[in-house]
Chains A and B, each alone.
Chain A
Amino acid sequence: MRVALFITCFNDTLFPETGKAVVRLLERLGHQVDFPLGQTCCGQPQFNTGYRPEARPLVRRFAEAFAGYDAVVTPSGSCAAMVREHHPLLAADDPGLRRAVAQVAPKVHELSEFLVDVLGVTDVGAYYPHRVTYHPTCHSLRMLRVGERPLRLLRAVKGIELVELPAAEECCGFGGTFAVKNPDVSAAMLADKMRHVLDSRAEVLTAGDNSCLLHIGGGLGRLRTGVRTVHLAEILAATEGEAR
């Protein structure tokens, strides 16, 4: 199986540790991965803000960069949803691009989907001795419908103490450019999310999308709560040997 990594522009630039964790994890599970260097961004910020012509060249670049792989795995629920749900729409007017997108888009999987559905594993041999709570990001939850997959993976992690997040399914208020266009509403939603995180008494908040974690973690950091935000991939990649 030829597996390609889609590390997303956001993770590539701001959270390289998440990408490295995905590489470590998949290699530990016995899979060789490629990182096609032609990849950049799925166009989600442009598309969601209404800039469709600006998103189109990125759709083309994506389809070209990932052509020919059996599977594409990405540590971002919202970018996976962008490719699977919206790339076909953006390519609709261009028959060539439409065909290319139809080839690639269905093969794109968010990390927990890839592990559980494609590789068929739930115990990835991880060790993470911390009290953790999980935030199901909106796009993973309602667009990809990843459901229990991340939780099943987390439950199989050794040493972990998984605690429930109150009102877990409520949006954290990030929403890409929403946080910039509507900063006050965004901050109000974030305040409630942070309250729930603190109520959970977790030491670590995890999720399948660094954008939400950036937002929530940025708030938790400003308040000096001491709660850390860690991407799901980094927890799953952690082992006893390298316990932090």
Chain B
Amino acid sequence: MSEGLVWLGTPAFPQAAKKALADTQLRRNLGKATGTIRDKRLRVCAELDDWEQLRDSAAALKLRTLRHLPRYLEQLEASVTAAGGTVHWAADAAEANRIVAELVKATGEREVVKVKSMATQEIGLNEALAAEGITAHETDLAELIVQLADDRPSHILVPAIHRNRAEIREIFRSRMPDAPADLTDEPRALAEAARLHLREKFLRAKVAVSGANFAVAETGTVLVVESEGNGRMCLTLPDTLITVMGIEKVVPTFADLEVFLQLLPRSATGERMNPYTSAWTGVHAADGPSTFHLVLLDNGRTATLTDQVGRQALGCIRCSACLNVCPVYERVGGHAYGSVYPGPIGAILTPQLAGVGHAASLPFASTLCGACYDACPVKINIPEVLVHLRAKEVDAKRGRRTPTVESLLMRAATEVLASPERLRLAQKAGALGGRLVGRGGRIGPLPGPFHAWSDTRDLPVPPAESFRAWWQRTHPEENDR
């Protein structure tokens, strides 16, 4: 496991999921939230008659950019520098955290305000800054809830999706010193309490840290897309702005944004247009921050890029549509994935960015139902990558001295299935065995390794005569073929 990605130290997916499933409140919260957002997304995506073409364009643009990534990154560096910004390259999380901490310390400040950002979550920046004596204040409402509760985000876009209003009220009342004593769980009241709490931070902050949704190679323009306006406060009020951005976020030209800015809000929140889209190019006298630093983060991305099938995961625009349609995510929530990238995209991105380790169970955390692929605005073929990563995982274990039970079973199955005659014999044996354990045509709970299935489901007893045997009996004239 690489040190680059924040790992929550959860057990493998099946165990983490089991725990999450026991939390009925969590399941209710998630079912309700994802259901609502799913319906909204479907409605607004259907409004555009060129939706499918837009998806195709986005996929093509992302793949082309990834193929020529070094060129676009160098172009981006040149245009950001020309516009008065400073570019830093970070190979991994530790390097990125060190760069940001040093930049903050150079300003003499001990506090930063933060725009919601997956990249800084990925590298554990807040914790790294804390270790250097610097306090990072999250300003996105949901991130604030998560930070106050000492919790972990469980969704890319709605980090506190696993919490309901009543729980949020409790968190504010017990953890937010300036929360009103008579706070109710009305969304408006909760938002107002957060606004007052944050206002004081915005006015004081001299340094802000953000991520980036896009960066334009041609112009050096960096964009943050958000819906509360708190991000914009961070991006405009402080003197120093530090942006940490995954290298895959670059797009070649300003015109390319046209495609993504149509796809993103509809896929993400089911909105037609994004409420706050902030774009800045370097620095300007008497307008916005006077110092701008862009940290380009690799952290496993170059390695991912070398995988022809897996690299499409880098096209992700973090809309979270795949999470909201995923039946697995809906039932277990984000924490079970043990990574800042949960759900279907997490199941393919995390193992690639982090390398193997705990993440080995993630490519198997899907039924391959394909709902994520249908929903993805950049047409990332998530099932294809899942199966590809499964093969890599299985191949990595082949060299072991003691083979896994599963590999023995799979090999035995191929042995049987490679020959029709062996299959016929196996069918006869199976029919006999089934007859011994079955009652009333069904097989009930079984012991040992079969209990996982038979705990909740009956199995049919194999019939005495297979189709093959029936065919040979009833079509004797064809048997010699």
Contacts and interface: CB of A to CB of B under 8 A. Distances in A.
A174 B471 CA distance: 29
Those 5 A-B pairs whose CB atoms lie nearest each other, nearest first: A175-B367, A218-B457, A50-B390, A50-B394, A171-B369
Given A14-B462, A54-B410, A182 B418 contact: no
Contacts of B368: 48, 138, 175-176, 178
Interface string A142-179: 11000000000000000000000000011101111111
A38 B370 CA distance: 32
B420 interface: yes
Interface of A: 7, 9, 11-17, 19-20, 34-41, 43, 45-52, 54-55, 57-58, 61, 138-139, 141-143, 169-171, 173-190, 214-215, 217-219, 221-222
B456 A190 contact: yes
Contact of B452 (A16, A34, A139, A183): A183
23 contacts: A12-B466, A14-B460, A17-B463, A19-B470, A34-B478, A35-B478, A37-B468, A37-B481, A41-B413, A48-B387, A50-B387, A50-B393, A51-B407, A54-B411, A55-B414, A142-B373, A178-B368, A180-B452, A181-B14, A184-B18, A185-B14, A219-B458, A221-B442
Nearest to B327: A171
B119 interface: no
Which of A174, A182, A190 has most chain B Cβ within 10 Å?
A182
B465 A16 contact: yes
Interface string B14-30: 10011001000001000
A192 to B, nearest CB: 8
A82 B178 CA distance: 59
A226 to B, nearest CB: 13
A14 B431 CA distance: 9
Which of B455, B457, B471, B472 has most chain A Cβ within 10 Å?
B457
Contacts of B355: none
Contact of B327 (A34, A51, A170): A170
Nearest to A60: B418
Contact of B455 (A36, A38, A40, A187): A187
Interface of B: 13-14, 17-18, 21, 27, 327-328, 331-332, 363-371, 373-374, 387, 390-395, 406-407, 410-411, 413-414, 417-420, 423, 426-427, 430, 442, 444, 452-453, 455-460, 462-463, 465-468, 470-472, 475, 478-479, 481
Given A48-B390, A51-B407, A142 B371 contact: yes
Contact of A20 (B393, B418, B427, B470): B470
A12 B467 contact: yes
Contacts of A177: 364, 406
Contact of A49 (B365, B410, B418, B462): B410
B162 to A, nearest CB: 16
Which of B14, B369, B418, B465 has most chain A Cβ within 10 Å?
B369
A174 B367 CA distance: 7
Given A20-B470, A50-B394, A185-B17, A173 B327 contact: yes
